[in-house]
Structure 1
């Protein structure tokens, strides 16, 4: 029977320390001993929970964390060890820059205004700001454009007593897809040209970093001094193409068998329980509207998890869950607070029986990847939508 430490909640998440250990080991094998691993914990650590994952990563000797916002940085700082570095890759308001400087939180600078504001605040505080200059190489999102390089170089050189030029970085525009191969290659070449330009002008960063999870696998030349890895650490591949690339790169053993079906281990398990049971006569419709009509006499069950709790409405009549070791179908429209499943072929289902939305029972698995295929959503999107208030328990 499904049990939870929080009996008032409709579902619970468990996080596997051994899975993280396996994933960190795999990534470090890819990048080698000299390249630093930064664990990306943005999006509430891809839905897993920042506070929980920071501690798990630290236990696995990962002491560099990448976040999107100052708020995520603040959350990480509440639980991290003193020696762990936090780096903000995106949003930080001018007023939050002072907090970052005072707490030695590193952050991206991608325009001249932010650079000027950083210098002014560092002067007032009397403490150096630790910055990573993000440069535009073709993503066309954030990133300092080439025409602003002279001004940035001038400002950094004039204010070296107020700044630590920690990193030079960029982000790739879709390294998870072979369709972007030429675009990514152009970005890699451009980054090296720009890095050389900064060095010729007397500015050499402490680290250069450009690789995300997909680039770590598909473009080893991007490893440089540090890599920023998110989805791989949680046991998921950025795309099916990335997984296939890894398999082909690793070849086959002497017996013609694949060396590894999947070296990654899923960290997250998401469980709920059966709320109620009902016999449904043939011809009756299920739930809202007429999207599902019983083709025969059926037995159905309700589960107290709906789109308000992270189970996408787009999984209506498509999703799958596991009950009593058997994969069963979601039928009808996924409601705000519950979903309905067909248990006609499942044996001995009772009220309060465990329901797995993500995870496994025995040899039967439900993965986020399969959700993505059914709902046309990415691993990233589905994971990061899991609400923060679902209780999370760390297990071995």
Structure 2
């Protein structure tokens, strides 16, 4: 049976490294099933480290989080005009993101109907092109502050390329600060301001405002241009379930795509595409060099490996839905031995158990 294993001690160290680097309170971003670490599991650990504010994108995560959070704030980082989603935000006492006048009106109407006041953060679009008021839409943003049953407690923006383009990141920050200064002149207190995410914190100096939003940095799997001191965490593990020896010229896997060149000893590992093995996360930086590397990998039929008892063995016959065959010729690998693969937690099936050791 496969499971995704996380070293709890090293995760604790990552959290403290990030806290020290930020120097301001953290918002624990636990979207995407806690960046693949298990939303409830990692949230509990972040609470142990004194984090009091959390963030998700899906309203369906709210009831799950409320099982482990009571008074902590939960920011929904999606500006929505869908009233059913607004009702979920209000029902679970979360903080709404308001990125358009229409979204503000929808949230206000729902809050009024339910007889509650909903906390909100204003979203400013400084170049990401998704949610948020553009700086040219300040007048509409200001109107939201007077909508009934909404209480604005903060505002934020999102950097589009902090892992690569420092100048653009700094320009976005200045645009955000300038926009909020103009809004503050009209409405008074705008609450806390935040812009920095994991790539920004670890790659760009002087981008932290009142708080920072951190998710991928906790896992140690974030693009940085220099050493961050963070531990790369998480591995998919399972025991070898069977071992067999096949003759030279024997086909392995679907469609007879692999044929042995010699007598081959094979270990069967119950890890496959269903678990997330062999799936890839789209690279965030698309360059000519990246395209060339993909083409070369295609030509070379990039080899996949599984670690068994601390040694790397290559996959043969392709990766199946639930099983993978591994060439262990010349080894003493036997059923019950531990096999593991290093894959992004975001690629691991949410149904796979997360185990903290």
Q: Residue in 2 aligned with 1:181?
A: 166
Do 2:79 and 2:103's aligned partners in 1 also have CA atoms closer than 8 Å?
Answer: no
> Equivalent of 2:66, from 72, 77, 94?
77
Q: Note if 1:355 corresponds to 2:339.
A: yes
SS of 1:201 mapped into structure 2:
helix
| Structure 2 CA distance for aligned equivalents of residues 91 and 335 of structure 1 | 39
* 1:15 Cα deviation from its structure 2 partner: 3.1
Do 2:138 and 2:179's aligned partners in 1 also have CA atoms closer than 8 Å?
Answer: no
Q: Residue in 2 aligned with 1:89?
A: 77
Q: Under a length normalisation based on structure 2, what TM-score does the superposition of the two structures give? A: 0.88
* 1:183 Cα deviation from its structure 2 partner: 2.5
Q: Residue in 2 aligned with 1:293?
A: 259
* 1:227 Cα deviation from its structure 2 partner: 0.7
SS of 2:9 mapped into structure 1:
helix
| Structure 2 CA distance for aligned equivalents of residues 194 and 289 of structure 1 | 59
Q: Note if 1:227 corresponds to 2:193.
A: no
- The Cα offsets for residues 228-278 of structure 1, whole Å up to 9 and x where unpaired, read as 111111122x22xx1x33x3xxxxxxxxxxxxxx62234433211112212
CA, structure 1 residues 119+313, in 2 after alignment: closer, same or farther (shift >3 Å)?
closer
CA, structure 1 residues 357+285, in 2 after alignment: closer, same or farther (shift >3 Å)?
same
SS of 1:195 mapped into structure 2:
helix
Q: Residue in 1 aligned with 2:308?
A: 323
Q: How does 1:194-343 map to 2 (within 5 A)?
A: 194-236=179-221, 238-239=222-223, 242=224, 244-245=225-226, 247=227, 263-312=229-278, 318-343=303-328
CA, structure 1 residues 308+42, in 2 after alignment: closer, same or farther (shift >3 Å)?
same
| Structure 1 CA distance for aligned equivalents of residues 274 and 102 of structure 2 | 39
Do 1:87 and 1:105's aligned partners in 2 also have CA atoms closer than 8 Å?
Answer: yes
Q: Under a length normalisation based on structure 1, what TM-score does the superposition of the two structures give? A: 0.79
Report the RMSD for the aligned CA atoms in angstroms: 2.1
- The Cα offsets for residues 133-181 of structure 1, whole Å up to 9 and x where unpaired, read as 111111112221234320221231x23x62221111111112112xx33
Structure 1: gaps spanning 5 or more residues:
1-9, 248-261, 359-367, 369-381
| Structure 2 CA distance for aligned equivalents of residues 219 and 108 of structure 1 | 25
Q: Residue in 1 aligned with 2:350?
A: 388
Q: Note if 1:167 corresponds to 2:154.
A: yes
* 1:67 Cα deviation from its structure 2 partner: 0.6
> How many equivalent residue pairs?
337
Do 1:331 and 1:340's aligned partners in 2 also have CA atoms closer than 8 Å?
Answer: yes
SS of 1:309 mapped into structure 2:
coil
- The Cα offsets for residues 19-49 of structure 1, whole Å up to 9 and x where unpaired, read as 22101110111111xx110111111111111
Q: How does 1:91-110 map to 2 (within 5 A)?
A: 93-110=82-99
| Structure 2 CA distance for aligned equivalents of residues 212 and 73 of structure 1 | 21
SS of 2:187 mapped into structure 1:
coil
Do 2:234 and 2:345's aligned partners in 1 also have CA atoms closer than 8 Å?
Answer: no
Q: Note if 1:21 corresponds to 2:4.
A: no
